[in-house]
Amino acid sequence: MTRESFCDDRSFEGELAYDAVMNPVYRVAEDAIHLSDRVQDACPSVAWKNIRGFRNFVAHGYAEIDRAIAWKVVIEDIPSLAASPSDLISTDND
């Protein structure tokens, strides 16, 4: 999937693809907001407030999500978030 198809394809197939990508993103954000304070404090580089805000925006459908922002979350923020537990584990083992 390209940025252009993610952001601009409003066909039935494009909407299915968008939903297929955004559903797990929502799930990750939902799970992240339920992490303990200890875990969140151990990963200060993670923008927990932004994750909660993005999750609330998606969950409550305040308005159409800016797909360019959603693309950035998918391409940049989720991979960065995925690295955080690994950093936490390696810190605990040192």
What is the model's pLDDT at position 88? 60
| pLDDT tens, position by position, 37-82 | 988 888 888 888 899 888 888 888 766 889 999 999 999 988 888 8
Q: What's the predicted TM-score (pTM) here?
A: 0.74
Distances in Å between the Cα of 59 and the Cα atoms of 8, 42, 64, 86 are 21, 26, 11, 28
Give percent of the chain with pLDDT exceeding 70. Answer: 87
Torsion on CA atoms 1, 6, 55, 63, rounded to nearest 10: -170
Tokens at 10, concatenated: 């409003």
Mean pLDDT of all residues in 26-34? 88
Token pair 């797909």 is found at: 67
